């Protein structure tokens, strides 16, 4: 059942990225983060009250770290969606299974062996290929700032997911884990949104609501998936979002899928595969 939860999570997160990219054509990223936070805050609070769960949890330090790290990661991921094509942003974001496995081995003793270092190298080679081999071909489009934003967002995503797993191991309710995310997202993004606020049209309001709904559903399925599966295995299954995003980018935004994207994605996918295989051994 854990794998089904992760697959549904990947589907809804893919839809979320589509709506984020649409909204980003009309407003600043931080405003999208704020609106997403407000919607998920409301949903999370309702779920906690309906399930009669203690609001603040028992491991507040871990929950607070998860909320803060997740908020920063969310902004960087949303920003990278605006700077890259949808498939490129997604596949760079999906370096996070490597970071998840690395951090899980350090923080919660989900050790996977020395193969991890090879996996890290292969993962970055995959991204390098996807970006059309910068520094080799003069016509390749490569912006250091954009890539830095995307990779740091991926790293912090991995850290946030390990914190989810850690909190689950300590018997925290999935609803409380979800609640701590918008608990930090809303006030932090509100401060930064105040000076760049753009009044949305009715159509964009609908898009923003869909961002919140899809992200909340994705978060629900992801949290339950991480409760049932080891962090490395859950993160690997989530990689199905890459082909989802490639199809969405092609059909909705008319973004071409290059041979380098296919080859680089296969390298990264193989990287995740050897991590899982080593863990099984």
Domain ranges in the chain are 2-280
Looking at the predicted structure, is the pLDDT value of residue 191 above 70?
yes
Q: How far is it, in rounded angstroms, from Cα 55 to Cα 94?
A: 31
Looking at the predicted structure, is the pLDDT value of residue 128 above 80?
no
Burial 223-262 (b: 16+ CB within 10 A, else e): bbbbbebbbbbbbbbbbbbbbbbbebbeeeeebebeebbe
Q: What is the dihedral of CA 96, 97, 102, 106, to 10 degrees?
A: 100
Is the pTM here over 0.75, yes or no? Answer: yes
Looking at the predicted structure, is the pLDDT value of residue 231 above 70?
no
C-beta separation of 8 from 167 below 8 A: no
Q: 34-38, 226-230, 276-280: lowest mean pLDDT where?
A: 276-280
Q: How far is it, in rounded angstroms, from Cα 123 to Cα 136?
A: 19
pLDDT at 111: 66
pLDDT tens profile 82-115: 988 888 888 888 788 778 878 887 887 766 666 7
Mean pLDDT of 148-153: 92
pLDDT at 77: 93
> Tokens in use for 189?
């993004």
Q: How far is it, in rounded angstroms, from Cα 22 to Cα 155?
A: 25
């Amino acid at each position: 059942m854990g794998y089904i939860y992760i697959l549904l999570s990947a589907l809804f997160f893919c839809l979320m990225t589509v709506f984020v990219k649409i909204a980003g054509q009309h407003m600043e990223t931080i405003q999208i983060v704020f609106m997403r936070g407000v919607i998920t805050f409301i949903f999370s609070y309702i779920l906690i009250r309906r399930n009669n769960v203690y609001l603040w949890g028992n491991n507040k330090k871990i929950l607070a770290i998860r909320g803060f790290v997740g908020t920063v990661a969310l902004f960087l991921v949303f920003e990278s969606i605006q700077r890259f094509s949808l498939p490129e942003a997604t596949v760079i974001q999906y370096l996070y299974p490597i970071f998840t496995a690395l951090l899980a081995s350090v923080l919660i003793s989900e050790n996977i062996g020395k193969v991890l270092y090879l996996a890290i190298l292969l993962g970055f080679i995959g991204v390098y290929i996807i970006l059309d081999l910068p520094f080799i071909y003069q016509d390749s489009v490569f912006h250091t700032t954009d890539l830095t934003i995307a990779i740091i967002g991926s790293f912090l995503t991995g850290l946030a997911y390990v914190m989810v797993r850690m909190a689950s191991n300590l018997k925290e309710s999935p609803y409380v884990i979800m609640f701590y995310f918008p608990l930090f997202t809303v006030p932090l993004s509100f401060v930064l949104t105040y000076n760049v606020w753009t009044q949305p049209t009715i159509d964009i309001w609908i898009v923003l609501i869909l961002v919140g709904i899809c992200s909340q559903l994705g978060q629900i399925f992801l949290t339950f998936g991480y409760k049932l599966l080891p962090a490395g295995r859950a993160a690997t299954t989530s990689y199905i979002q890459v082909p989802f995003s490639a199809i969405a980018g092609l059909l909705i935004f008319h973004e071409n899928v290059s041979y380098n994207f296919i080859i680089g994605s296969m390298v990264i996918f193989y990287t995740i595969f050897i991590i899982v295989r080593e863990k099984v051994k």
